[in-house]
A and B are shown apart, each in its own frame.
Chain A
Amino acid sequence: MTETDLHTEAVEIHDQFADQLDVTVDEVSERLDTLVNEYKVPLSEARRSVTNTYLDEAGMDRDDVAGGDQHVSITDIDTPEQWVDVTAKVVELRNPDSDAIAQAGTLGDETGTIAFVSWSKSELPRVEEDAVYRLGNVVTDEYEGQFSVKLNSTTTIEQVDRELEVSNDDAEITGALVDIQSGSGLIKRCPEEDCTRVLQNGRCAEHGEGDGEFDLRIKGVIDDGTTVQDVIFDREMTESLTGISLEKAQEMAMDALDTSVVAEEMNERLLGQYYHVTGPNFNRYVLADEVTEPEQPDHEAMLIKARSI
């Protein structure tokens, strides 16, 4: 440990508190020196200890300063081979496919998610699913445009006691269901293995004539007055929205000798209603995997705005 190293550390710590505390670089340096040279504490631990002392004095939270320059949000990771710090939740752990890997999975923060691996040879403490960690000194990597972070022998892992709302890439839309398009209601799908095409007049575009298996779905349009979005509701969603089960739909069609009665009934129940839909994007569609009634907008607040313009 050289004098210069200590001084560099001291300047960095000082910079974090210069606005909040009346403290000089020399004072910081002295504290570090005592810990490192008298008590033989490793520099990383000394830095931690001194930083915490000043955090307490300033009444600040570790997150207020954590990281300085190298602490990044996951969405900002766009260059390989960068050494960064992230604070993230372990969203998912998966079984590593090699003995060289101790742990692998997905990390997430408010801005996005990213894959991670922890090497066996680094002998790091294991992380747990759903826990939030501050990971110091991880290195970024890129493979075919997908970024990941690698935990390594210099990485510090510190569990953080706070909730973190992990962002996902799901679309979220609120609006009125203004149309239910053809191909909705009671449909038949091709029975061939791995083919889920919807039969048109009893024919699969790939496999030709076939008996088909009944299914329910809705291809709908959600419109909020400024944009429109195509949404697909699968069988489960369709059943819960309409209250019509697949079995019931088949009965209805049998009684009427016509499958279109199912779509007509769905039109009557759903068109003109407001929905809040979340789900992944797929081509031009959002695949609804959660549908709720939207909260009533605040008319008092809108009235105040209307009067103030």
Chain B
Amino acid sequence: MSNSATREVARRVFAREFNDATYTFKESDDELAPRYALLPTGKRANRVFFVGTLTETEDVGQDSEYWQGRIVDPDGGTFFTYAGQYQPDAASMLRELEAPEYVAVVGKPRTFEADDGEVNVSVRPESITVVDESTRNYWVVETAERTLDRVEQFENGGEYAQLAREEYDLPVENYRRVAVEALESLDTEQAESTAP
């Protein structure tokens, strides 16, 4: 595949790994340079794509509308997405959708440091669309594959694997297990739906 000149790829990552990606950085001092979240499996992410179950929406804004959506993936991790006046399409989707619903989200990682010093990772959506279960299942297998690729390459180092070792104390084995659990959940679901 030839690359679109400057567009950042949308990483596939399960929520539990995404929420651990608290360290962010830029490659240059330029104000407009893209900001990346460092995935604990050793890749940088400026954009993510995920599919999960929207379980709850809430307007958490004070002066103006600011919608929070909780989107859960099959291993139980939750993506927190926030859309306000600068993401009008995504905000109106969150306003109108009735949970539960399978949704696909393209968005940018954002971090926020709470008063207690804990760093929360969330997604600022570029788009939110309603999809079906087969799209969700496709995403789970695809994301497991990409996650396992990163886990396997972690040992061979690379710039961002090295950075992850320095910044985090998070064994990549955790994320292999997340992938296993996500894949197992597809088994269970399919067994249930075919049970007499």
* A302 B144 Cβ-Cβ under 8 A: yes
- Chain A binding site: helix, strand, loop or mixed by DSSP? mixed
**Total number of residue pairs linking A and B with CB closer than 8 Å:** 116
B-contact bits for A227-270, CB 8 A (1 contact / 0 none): 11110000000000000000000000000000000001001100
A281 proximal to B (CB < 8 A): yes
One of B22-30, B54-62, B134-142, B162-170 at the interface: B134-142
Closest to A264 in B: B89
A35 to chain B, nearest CB (A): 55
Q: Contacts A271-B104, A284-B2, A309-B176 given: A298-B141 contact, CB under 8 Å?
A: yes
A294 proximal to B (CB < 8 A): yes
Docked CA distance A264–B179 (Å):
34
* B186 A299 Cβ-Cβ under 8 A: yes
* B4 A271 Cβ-Cβ under 8 A: no
* A272 B104 Cβ-Cβ under 8 A: yes
Docked CA distance A306–B174 (Å):
12
* B1 A173 Cβ-Cβ under 8 A: yes
Contact of A176 among B2, B8, B49, B145 (CB under 8 A): B49
B3 proximal to A (CB < 8 A): yes
B79 to chain A, nearest CB (A): 14
* B7 A221 Cβ-Cβ under 8 A: yes
Q: A281 to chain B: which residues have CB within 8 Å? A: 2
Question: Which interface class (under 10, 10 to 19, 20 to 34, 35 or more) fits A?
Answer: 35 or more
Q: B3 to chain A: which residues have CB within 8 Å? A: 227-229
Q: A267 to chain B: which residues have CB within 8 Å? A: 89, 127, 129
Q: Contacts A299-B186, A306-B176 given: A284-B148 contact, CB under 8 Å?
A: no
Chain B contacts with A in 7-53, Cβ cutoff 8 A:
7-12, 47, 49, 51
A179 proximal to B (CB < 8 A): yes
B126 to chain A, nearest CB (A): 7
Sorted nearest first, the 7 A-B pairs with minimum C-beta distance are A272-B104, A225-B12, A297-B141, A303-B183, A227-B1, A272-B129, A229-B1
Please, could you name 9 A-B residue pairs with CB atoms under 8 Å apart, sorted by A?
A179-B127, A225-B146, A267-B89, A272-B127, A274-B135, A284-B4, A297-B138, A303-B180, A303-B183
